[in-house]
Each structure stands twice: as structure tokens, then as C-alpha cells.
Amino acid sequence: MFGDKIFEKAAGKIEDVINLVAEEHSKETESLRVTDHLDKLKDKFRTNITEKVMETAAEKYGTDISKFARRDLERKINNDANNMLNRAVGDLRIKQATLQADMEEALDTATKEEAIEIKQAFEEKKKQVVEKFKDNVSKSVEEIVRTAGEDAVRRVETDKKKG
């Protein structure tokens, strides 16, 4: 019911913003720009994932899902997404800062020829870190969509039993 159908439609739009966040972290930029991109990513998530999950729940359950349950589910999805995104970006920042420090330490004692090799090796490591970030966010989005669908079903069934 949920999951793939919703995620496939939104994945491309969210992937663009994930790439922007990752690119900003790859460069040495001010954190304000990264925060702006993170906010855009959260907005994209809200419009492309949360709204789609809520539309699907409304189509499937109609009046069986109360307004309170809808608001509660929407709030939970957005909170889960915000927590996941903040954690993922924080991990990305830490890993990139660690790589940068390791590279600078290695360059301190390197010759010019070694420095070129060291920089190339660390650029490759940075790319791997960014790819892992993108992969982790994509997997987390899939998990959030899956659990949101389960939460919607559970909430409707609970409301039916109470009513």
C-alpha cells in the first residue's frame, strides 16, 4: 500500500536536494548555506513524502482516519525525518572534518610528490563518505515511509476498536 509507490515518485526530487547538501559539505563553505540546503531537504521531504503518505492514507481509509490521527501521523513522520536528516548531516560533518584533519596531518610530513598522492587518496575517501551519506539517507527515507504506512494502519485499526 505505501512504500515503493510513494517513494519512487519523490526519490528524484529529494535526491537533488541530498546532492546539494552533500556538495556543500564537500566544499569548505559556511555552515549557513549547508543549513539552508538541509532546510530545503526537510521541506522537500514534507511535500514529497509526508503529503504522499497522508494522501494515500486518506484514499485508503477515508473517514476511518480521524483529523487528530492524521495530524499526529503527519507530525510523527516529520519529526522522524528531521531527526534522521539532522543525524545524517551531523555524521557527514564529523566524517569530513576527520578526513580533513587526517589529510592535513599526512601532508605535514609529505614531499610534493607524496602530497599529490595523499590529496588524491583523500578526495576519493571524501567521495565515498558522500556516497555513503546519500545511501544512508535514501535507506532511511524508505524506512520512514514503510513505518509511516504501518503506523497509519495501526492508528486506523485502533480508532475503529475505540469507536
The confidence band for 7, taking pLDDT boundaries of 50, 70 and 90, is very low
pTM value is 0.73
- Spatial CA neighbour of 25 closest among 141, 134, 119: 134
Q: From CA 32, how far away is CA 42, in angstroms rounded?
A: 15
Q: Cell numbers 509507490 correspond to what residue? A: 5
Give the dihedral sign, CA 89/91/86/78: positive
- 9-13, 96-100, 106-110: the lowest-pLDDT one: 9-13
Q: What is the mean pLDDT of residues 122-142?
A: 88
